[in-house]
């Protein structure tokens, strides 16, 4: 089988598809226009999620991050002390983010307080591809603040984004250390998946009930790599409203539901995911599906489905879908390595249910 492929990127970047009897399509990354107009040695050419290339000020000292995944990468690179403003996700998880206790909460990742951001006088604002919405970049640019949009929630974009952040902050060695670790584990999953010809049909449900994850979702991409078939793969949107009957007609082999449970790092048990899973299993007719009959109904949180820990979520999917070749995979061990080695925090927390 083909390995995950070389991690890293040149200009322009093209991630090649990985063949494991399935296809992981990796996007051609680019980026949006920013403030610096010329490469004078003080800037770094990078690509962001919009498809165009920009120049970003080298080694910025004051950062506002609306993107929690970017905050993890900055901590991994050793520059978390430069974060002066964060979205409200981080203050809700203080056990995991003690070093950001004094960073200003600038509001929601998709609708931040723009005046609060401006008052912090950041060199750079990091956010997601589509959040905040239209007009945000222009407002920041008018204040002399550059915005960099990243797709760190997509496993195909993750290597290039990490590499770019490493170059921006002059921490290429730290970025490479993580990327080598990531590649080894992605290749391990790919090898195991290739050894099992089965491709189980899976119903991926987004955070809302009866919202199927379609082809544009990050979960669809992760499922393909883990050797599953998305029963909503013909639907494009990240979350598509569907009926209970629609799911029953397709008789999924397994169900994976995104849980919005917060503060997973502080939990010693599955918490609200227990009741949530029981609710899924009790849905009318689900006991007549292969998934319901066998109890193959799983919940995952965003902590293992986006950003630097994405490979952990993929490992869980592979373990659930391919017991013949992935039974001895230990996603929690990989997550522990990530938390302790790359985030500098003690290992703890519960992030999926059932965790087996």
SS3 of 262-321: the string is CCHHHCCCCCCHHHHHHHHHCCCCHHHCHHHHHCCEEEEEHHHCCHHHHHHHHHHHHHHH
Domain spans of the chain, in order of start: 29-173, 196-353
pLDDT > 90: percent of the chain:
79
Looking at residue 40, its pLDDT comes to 61
Give yes or no for residue 156 having a pLDDT over 50: yes
Q: CATH number for 29-173: choose from 3.40.50.10540, 3.40.50.2300, 3.30.43.10, 3.40.50.1980.
A: 3.40.50.1980
The pLDDT tens digits of the residues spanning 332-355 come to 999 999 999 999 999 999 999 998
Give yes or no for residue 17 having a pLDDT over 60: no
Distance of CA 77 to the CA centre of its chain: 17
Distance of CA 98 to the CA centre of its chain: 22
Overall average pLDDT of the 135-149 stretch: 94
pLDDT > 70: percent of the chain:
89
Contacts 24+ apart (CB under 8 A), 130-135: 131/66, 132/66
Give yes or no for residue 119 having a pLDDT over 80: yes
Distance of CA 6 to the CA centre of its chain: 19
What do you get for the CA distance between the two ends of the chain, in Å? 27
Q: What is the DSSP letter of 122?
A: -
CA angle 322, 326, 327 (to 5 degrees): 100
Return the CATH class of domain 196-353.
alpha beta
Overall average pLDDT of the 168-196 stretch: 98
Overall average pLDDT of the 209-237 stretch: 96
Give yes or no for residue 13 having a pLDDT over 80: no
Looking at residue 152, its pLDDT comes to 86
Looking at residue 48, its pLDDT comes to 86
State the residue for tokens 């900055």. 74
Overall average pLDDT of the 142-169 stretch: 93
Average pLDDT, the chain: 89
Looking at residue 114, its pLDDT comes to 96
Give yes or no for residue 228 having a pLDDT over 60: yes
Does this model's pTM top 0.75? My answer is: yes
Looking at residue 31, its pLDDT comes to 36
Looking at residue 29, its pLDDT comes to 33
Give the separation between CA 215 and CA 220, rounded to whole angstroms. 6
Looking at residue 196, its pLDDT comes to 98
Rg (CA), the chain: 20
Give yes or no for residue 302 having a pLDDT over 80: yes
Give the list of residues 6+ apart from residue 211 with CB closer than 8 angstroms, or none.
205, 239, 240, 241, 242
Of the pLDDT bands very low, low, confident and very high (cuts 50, 70, 90), residue 129 is confident
Structure token pair of residue 350 = 């519960």
Overall average pLDDT of the 158-172 stretch: 96
Of the pLDDT bands very low, low, confident and very high (cuts 50, 70, 90), residue 41 is confident
29-173 shares its CATH topology with 196-353: yes
CA angle 134, 24, 171 (to 5 degrees): 65
Of the pLDDT bands very low, low, confident and very high (cuts 50, 70, 90), residue 154 is confident
């Amino acid at each position: 089988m083909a390995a995950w492929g070389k991690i890293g990127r040149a200009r322009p970047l093209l991630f090649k598809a990985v063949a494991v009897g399935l296809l992981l399509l990796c996007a051609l990354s680019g980026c949006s226009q920013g403030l610096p107009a010329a490469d004078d040695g003080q800037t770094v050419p990078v690509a962001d999620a919009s498809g165009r290339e920009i120049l970003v000020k080298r080694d910025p000292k004051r950062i506002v991050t609306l993107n929690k995944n970017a905050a993890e990468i900055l901590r991994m690179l050793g520059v978390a002390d430069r974060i002066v403003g964060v979205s409200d996700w981080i203050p809700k998880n203080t056990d995991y983010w003690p070093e950001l206790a004094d960073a200003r909460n600038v509001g929601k990742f998709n609708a931040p307080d723009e005046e609060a951001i401006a008052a912090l006088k950041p060199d750079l604002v990091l956010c997601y591809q589509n959040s905040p919405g239209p007009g945000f970049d222009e407002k920041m640019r008018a204040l002399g603040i550059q915005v960099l949009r990243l797709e760190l929630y997509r496993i195909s974009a993750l290597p290039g984004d990490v590499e770019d952040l490493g170059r921006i902050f002059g921490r290429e060695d730290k970025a490479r250390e993580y990327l080598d670790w990531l590649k080894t584990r992605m290749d391990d999953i790919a090898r195991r998946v290739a050894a099992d010809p089965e491709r189980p049909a899976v119903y991926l449900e987004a955070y809302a009930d009866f919202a199927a994850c379609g082809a544009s979702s990050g979960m669809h991409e992760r499922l393909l790599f883990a050797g599953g078939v998305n029963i909503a793969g013909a639907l494009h949107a990240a979350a598509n409203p569907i009926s209970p009957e629609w799911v029953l007609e397709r008789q999924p082999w397994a169900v994976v539901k995104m849980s919005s449970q917060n503060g997973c790092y502080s939990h010693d048990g599955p918490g609200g995911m227990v009741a949530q899973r029981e609710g899924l299993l009790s849905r009318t007719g689900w006991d007549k599906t292969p998934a319901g009959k066998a109890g193959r109904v799983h919940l995952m949180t965003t902590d293992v489905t986006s950003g630097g820990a994405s490979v952990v979520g993929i490992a869980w999917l592979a373990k659930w879908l391919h017991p013949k070749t992935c039974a001895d995979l230990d996603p929690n061990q990989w997550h522990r390595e990530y938390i302790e080695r790359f985030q500098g925090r003690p290992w703890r927390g519960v992030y999926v249910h059932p965790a087996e």
